[in-house]
């Protein structure tokens, strides 16, 4: 019988990633009440990586996540986890224009955040926008979709590779 130092409850992305990280220094058991891991929110995740999103503490976490995701790819032999998907912010009225200007001012100088573009450039990037409707716009070049399933599977493989155990059902 193996002694377990740590039990992580929940086999979704949060539990699998925590279990993997803890398994570097502990014996870990990941438990999931469902018969399969990642059945609920992880399976339905619209996972995105959007630099410049949210308040300053969230932006700091997002900024730290990009390099970590890159390391996970090589560390756990995962497929590419990020698929580029630029993000366009648009303002259609004075209130939206003011809000976008405040966001840009707050994030000025932060790497990877939104960058102001003119309305014509927004229209070029997204032809579905009604001509003349955009008052202000910004673009986030480094935004991407995250392959949540591949990331989850990599963490579970990594956990098992570090001697961790998984019990589901």
The predicted-structure confidence for 7-50, as pLDDT tens digits, reads as follows 999 999 999 999 999 999 999 999 999 999 998 887 777 789 99
Q: Quote the pLDDT of residue 42.
A: 78
30 by Cβ neighbours in 10 Å (0-12 / 13-18 / 19+) ranks as buried
Q: Is the pLDDT of residue 56 over 60?
A: yes
Give residue 2's pLDDT band: very low, low, confident or very high (50, 70, 90): confident
Rounded to an integer, the average pLDDT of 130-157 is 95
Model confidence band, residue 137 (pLDDT cutoffs 50, 70, 90):
very high
Give 118-131 pLDDT, tens digit per residue: 999 999 999 999 99
> With 90 as the cut, is the pLDDT of residue 5 above it?
yes
Mean per-residue pLDDT over the chain, rounded: 93
Q: Where are the beta strands (DSSP E) in the chain?
A: 6-9, 28-32, 48-49, 82-84, 87-91, 115-117, 136-140, 144-146, 165-168
- Domain 1-47+147-169: what homologous superfamily? FAD/NAD(P)-binding domain (3.50.50.60)
Domain spans of the chain, in order of start: 1-47+147-169, 48-146
Q: What is the pLDDT of residue 28?
A: 98
For residue range 83-119, list pLDDT tens digits in order. 999 999 999 999 999 999 999 999 988 888 899 999 9
């Amino acid at each position: 019988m193996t002694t377990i130092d740590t039990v992580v409850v929940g086999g979704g992305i949060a539990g699998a990633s925590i279990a993997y990280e803890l398994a570097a220094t502990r014996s870990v058991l990941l438990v999931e009440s469902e018969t399969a891991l990642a059945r609920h929110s992880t399976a339905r995740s619209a996972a995105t990586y959007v630099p410049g999103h949210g308040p300053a503490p969230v932006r700091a976490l997002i900024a730290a996540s990009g390099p970590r995701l890159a390391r996970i790819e090589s560390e756990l032999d995962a497929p590419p986890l990020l698929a580029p998907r630029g993000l366009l912010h648009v303002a259609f009225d004075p209130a939206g224009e003011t809000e976008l200007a405040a966001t840009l001012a707050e994030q000025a100088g932060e790497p990877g955040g939104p960058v102001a573009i003119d309305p014509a450039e927004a229209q070029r990037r997204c032809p579905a926008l009604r001509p003349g409707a955009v008052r202000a716009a910004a673009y986030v070049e480094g935004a991407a979709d995250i392959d949540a399933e591949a990331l989850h599977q990599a963490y579970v493989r990594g956990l098992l590779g570090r001697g961790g155990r998984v019990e589901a059902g």
